[in-house]
Amino acid sequence: MQAVFFDAIDTLRVGTTEIPEQGDDEVLLKVHSAGICGTDLHILKGEYGGYFPIIPGHEFSGEVIEVGKKVTRLVPGDRVAVHPGAGYGVWAPGGFEDYAKVREENAFKIGHLTYDEGALVEPLACAINGIDTVGVNLGDEVLVVGGGPIGLLLMQVAKLAGARSVAVADIAAEKLTKAKELGADEVFDARDNLKEKLLEAHPDGFHLTVDATGNPIAQEQMLDFTQSGGRFLLFGVAAPDARMTVKPFDIFFRELKIVGVHAFGDKFERAVEFAKSRRVNLAEIISHHFPLAQFHEALDLTRGPEPSLKILMHPDGDA
């Protein structure tokens, strides 16, 4: 079968390997959809423990093909999303392969959702965890900086959690258009004078600001847009050695809260059920599909200048 391998830092290939054999408490999946995530780029740089070689892909869904002897809840034919808590895609083989074995307890039935939506349950769970952890109060004015897939999920979840308005800022016009379509109340072009534009529209700043860029230059400015007594959710992944400058007096005097969240916590199952309600639009945050053989092109797209949203790999090749 085909699989993507990260062999060492900045070294990847699409190769072949044996179809894995499931253990007694595992199921074998035919992977149908697997999302590329910014975290994959960090894994390729060795920033997530450097477990090389690794088959990456921690956001995936598929069909149960075979079940181990002790499996009781799943049968062949079940369509599932994978909870990657067992290290799938980080230190255990992930979803960028034709077949994957996963523990039964890590496979959640997705019902009527598409496999693509199933692959997006993991990022949705991360967004839910972020908004739950920082807290949205009814009537909050929220700013999300970064209109990529995660920013668009955070925007939708913040609205559902009771925000009065959610603004999205980004440098790509296409992403701002998409944000509007998905319910953003305001959008801001971040290419120039973002601070002036934001403070003109919201002179007191926002109750909650959310970084979904991972860019320390953007992150550093977020407290300037945060109201006194407000909260800043740091969600984007910066480089491990990056630093940002903050004014300690500002945090002290204006009683600001800075909250960090890096994964989905215990929100995966809730995210599956919530996705089934379709109150969050997952399908619209997908911009591209690629067969596994074109993993290089797909990854280049995430790093290149052309704006993209969620890029999904389809191991079975159907685009």
Residues of this chain that interact with Zn ion (CB under 5 A) are 37, 39
Tell me how far, at minimum, the Cβ of 17 lies from Zn ion, in Å. 23
Tell me how far, at minimum, the Cβ of 129 lies from Zn ion, in Å. 12
Tell me how far, at minimum, the Cβ of 239 lies from Zn ion, in Å. 16
- The smaller minimum CB distance to Zn ion, of residues 94 and 230, is found at 94
- The smaller minimum CB distance to Zn ion, of residues 33 and 39, is found at 39
Tell me how far, at minimum, the Cβ of 36 lies from Zn ion, in Å. 9
- The smaller minimum CB distance to Zn ion, of residues 90 and 161, is found at 90
- The smaller minimum CB distance to Zn ion, of residues 3 and 125, is found at 125
Tell me how far, at minimum, the Cβ of 90 lies from Zn ion, in Å. 10
- The smaller minimum CB distance to Zn ion, of residues 39 and 156, is found at 39
- The smaller minimum CB distance to Zn ion, of residues 182 and 311, is found at 311
Tell me how far, at minimum, the Cβ of 149 lies from Zn ion, in Å. 9
**Residue 222 has which token pair?**
């977020």
In the bound state, the residue with its beta carbon closest to Zn ion is: 37
Tell me how far, at minimum, the Cβ of 126 lies from Zn ion, in Å. 7
- The smaller minimum CB distance to Zn ion, of residues 62 and 205, is found at 62
DSSP the chain: -EEEEEEETTEEEEEE-PPP---TTEEEEEEEEEEE-HHHHHHHTTTT----SB----SEEEEEEEE-TT--S--TT-EEEE-GGG-BTTTB--SSBSEEEEEGGGEEE-TTS-HHHHHTHHHHHHHHHHHHHH---TT-EEEEE--SHHHHHHHHHHHHTT-SEEEEEES-HHHHHHHHHTT-SEEEETTS-HHHHHHHH-TT-EEEEEE-S--HHHHHHGGGGEEEEEEEEE-S---TT------HHHHHHTT-EEEE--S-TT-HHHHHHHHHHT-S--GGGEEEEEEGGGHHHHHHHHHSSS---EEEEETT---
